[in-house]
Amino acid sequence: MFHRSLRTVVALVLALVLGWSFAQTLVIAQGTDAVSLDPHDVTDSPSATVTSHIYETLFELTPDGDIVPSLATGADVSDDGLTWTITLREDVVFHDGTPLTAEIVKGSMDRFLDPENAFAFVFLLARVDSIDVVDDYTVQFNLGTTFAPFMAHLTHSTTAIVLPAAVEEFGEDFGENPVGTGPFQFASWDRGSRIDLVRFDDYWGELPGIEGLAFLAVPEDTTRMALVETGEAHVAVRVPPADVPRLNAADGVTVENVSSLRTIYIYFNHTMEPFTDRTVRQAINYAVNKEEIAEFIFGGAVRPSDAAISPGIFGYTPVGKYEFDPERAQTLLAEAGFPEGFDTTLYCPTGRYLRDIQTCEAVQSQLAEVGVNAAIETLEWSAYLDFTRRPAEENTVPMAMLGWGTVTGDADYGLFALFHTSEHVPDGSNRSFYSNAIVDALLDEARTTPDESLRLQLYEDVLEILREDAAWLFMHSETQLVAVRDGIEGLVIHPTERVLALTTSMD
Amino acid sequence: MFQYAVRRVLISIPSIFGVILIVFLMVRLAPGDPALLLAGEFATEATIERIRERFGLDRPTHEQFGIFIANLAQGDLGRSTRTNRLVTADLRQFFPNTIELAAAAIVIAFLVGIPAGIVAAIKQNTWADLVVMFGALIGVSMPVFWFGLLAILYFSVQLGWFPVAGRGTWQHLVLPAFSLGIGSMAIIARMTRSSMLEVLSQDYIRTARAKGVMSNSVVLKHAFRNAMVPVITVGGLQFGTLMAGAVLTESVFTWPGIGRLLVDSILARDYPVVQGAVLLIATSFIVINILVDALYAVIDPRIRYD
pLDDT in tens, B168-223: 888 899 999 999 999 899 999 999 998 888 888 888 888 887 887 777 777 777 78
CB A283 within 8 A of CB A333: yes
- Per residue in B31-82, pLDDT (tens digit) is 777 887 777 766 677 778 888 888 888 888 888 888 888 888 898 888 888 8
Whether residue A252 is contained in a domain is answered as no
Residue in B38, B156, B257 closest to A226 by CB: B156
C-beta atoms of B254 and A387 within 8 A: no
Question: Considering its fold, how many domains does chain A have in total?
Answer: 2
* Shortest CA distance from B158: residue in chain A: A230
| CB < 8 Å to B38, chain A | 43, 120
Q: Give one DSSP letter per residue of A252-286, joined into a string.
A: TEEEEEEEEEEEEEEEE-TTSTTTTSHHHHHHHHH
Q: How far is CA A318 from CA A279, A309, A467, A480, A496, in A?
A: 22, 9, 10, 21, 20
Note whether A279 and A152 are same-domain residues: no
Note whether A293 and A429 are same-domain residues: yes
| CB < 8 Å to B251, chain A | 219-220
Q: How far is B148 from chain A (nearest CA, A)?
A: 9
Interface predicted TM-score (ipTM): 0.79
A192 CB near a chain B CB, below 8 Å?
Answer: yes
Quote the mean pLDDT of chain B. Answer: 86
Phi, psi of A392 (to 5 degrees): -50, -45
Note whether A322 and A470 are same-domain residues: yes
CB B191 within 8 A of CB B230: yes
Domain spans of chain B?
A: 2-73, 90-299
Its CATH architecture, for the domain B90-299, is Orthogonal Bundle (1.10)
The CA distance from A203 to A94, in Å, is 8
C-beta atoms of B85 and A35 within 8 A: no
Question: The pTM is what?
Answer: 0.84
Q: How far is B183 from chain A (nearest CA, A)?
A: 21
A258 CB near a chain B CB, below 8 Å?
Answer: no
Residue after which a domain boundary falls, among A166, A188, A220: A166
Residue after which a domain boundary falls, among A104, A134, A166: A166
C-beta atoms of A220 and B157 within 8 A: no
pLDDT at B10: 87
Q: Which domain holds residue A84?
A: 56-166
A43 CB near a chain B CB, below 8 Å?
Answer: yes
With b meaning 16 or more CB within 10 Å and e meaning fewer, what string describes B247-263?
Answer: bbbbbbbbbbbbbbbbb
Whether residue A132 is contained in a domain is answered as yes
A175 CB near a chain B CB, below 8 Å?
Answer: yes
| CB < 8 Å to A220, chain B | 145, 149, 251-252, 254
pLDDT at A86: 96
Q: Give one DSSP letter per residue of A103-118, joined into a string.
A: HHHHHHHHHHH-GGG-
Whether residue A503 is contained in a domain is answered as no
Whether residue A440 is contained in a domain is answered as yes
Residue in B50, B255, B256 closest to A115 by CB: B50
Note whether A345 and A451 are same-domain residues: yes
B83 CB near a chain A CB, below 8 Å?
Answer: yes
Note whether A160 and A279 are same-domain residues: no
pLDDT at B2: 76
Residue of B44, B49, B146 to mutate for A, most A C-beta atoms under 10 A: B44
* Parts of chain A with a pLDDT under 70: 1-23
Q: How far is A167 from chain B (nearest CA, A)?
A: 14
Whether residue A331 is contained in a domain is answered as yes
Residue after which a domain boundary falls, among A134, A166, A198: A166
Phi, psi of A199 (to 5 degrees): -65, 140
CATH number at residue A134: 3.90.76.10
Residue B296 has pLDDT above 80, yes or no: no
| CB < 8 Å to B145, chain A | 220
A21 CB near a chain B CB, below 8 Å?
Answer: no
- Per residue in A351-364, pLDDT (tens digit) is 788 889 999 999 99
Residue B17 has pLDDT above 50, yes or no: yes
Residue in A193, A223, A417 closest to B152 by CB: A223
| CB < 8 Å to A427, chain B | 44-45
B54 CB near a chain A CB, below 8 Å?
Answer: yes
Whether residue A202 is contained in a domain is answered as no
Q: How far is CA B286 from CA A470, B9, B19, B106, B241, in A?
A: 59, 9, 11, 17, 11
